[in-house]
Amino acid sequence: MKYRGKTFGWNKSSSCTNSYLKDQLKTKKSVVSQVIDKNIGYIRIPGNNDFAFKKVDSIANDITNHINKVNSAKIKAWIIDLRINTGGNMYPILLGLKEFIGSDNIVFGGFRNSKGESSGQWEIKDGKMMIDGIELVRQIPLKVPIRKDIPIVVLTSCYTASAGEMTAISLIGRKNTYVVGEPTADYTTAVQGFRINKDAGLNLSTDHVVDRNSKIYTSNIQPDVEVLQGDNFEDLKKDKKIIKTAELLKK
């Protein structure tokens, strides 16, 4: 609840004990991309604070530029690292990852209210990305197309939250797509603000998110392959989640 500029509420307790990633949240604020083992594209996307929707273009363009930086015909698989994506505005992240999410005429997620009724839909239709009826247009194109059904591994942690979780869910159910890492933070709801009077307002979680297979997420995302701790951004070849991902991709 907001009242005369002050916030009243509670803090959700967390059982997360990943001290390494907690420290990384303080300094790793930028998108990072590179090639692993000569044929795996890697991109790490942190959270953002674009709650006012003023940076949609710049965030989406930044993600696309990093994809273009490493993408080529040699890339056989992709790792999308959401371990330090604590949330923010999901719109530019989904827009930046549009070609990974799917091709034309696909509903890849949305929201359901307490009655199970659709209250928002995410789709790609006629080449356009539509989120809750709003068309998102990216300014920068991909230099090399993303191959349809190319293997993708999404990395998660207990700090993957809100928009980070929505991004993971947008990819879940896609062919050759897997989630590796830790259970996420459990902020899989849509929040709406309600005005009480000129001095007060209330934010409420009103809807749950669903994936492209209409699975409703009433709690956190459970990875397909659980790997706890062992993160190493300084040397990805020593990162346990990356090592497990490489093993999975070879299969």
pLDDT averages per 10-residue partition of the chain, 251 residues: 92 81 95 97 97 93 98 97 96 97 92 92 94 92 95 98 97 97 94 94 94 95 97 97 96 86
The secondary structure element, H or E, covering residue 183 is none
- Domain residue ranges in the chain: 2-6+17-250
Fold of 2-6+17-250: 2-enoyl-CoA Hydratase; Chain A, domain 1 (3.90.226)
Q: 7-25 burial by CB neighbour count: b if 16+ within 10 A, else e? A: eeeeeeeeeeebeebeebe
85, 50 Cβ separation under 8 angstroms: no
Q: Is 248 exposed, middle or buried (CB count within 10 Å of its CB: 0-12, 13-18, 19+)?
A: middle
Report the pLDDT value the prediction gives residue 24, as an integer from 0 to 100.
Answer: 96
Indicate the SS3 state at residue 24: helix
Report the pLDDT value the prediction gives residue 52, as an integer from 0 to 100.
Answer: 87
What is the pTM (predicted TM-score) of this model? 0.94
Report the pLDDT value the prediction gives residue 103, as an integer from 0 to 100.
Answer: 81
For residue 106, the Cα-to-chain-centroid distance in whole angstroms is 18
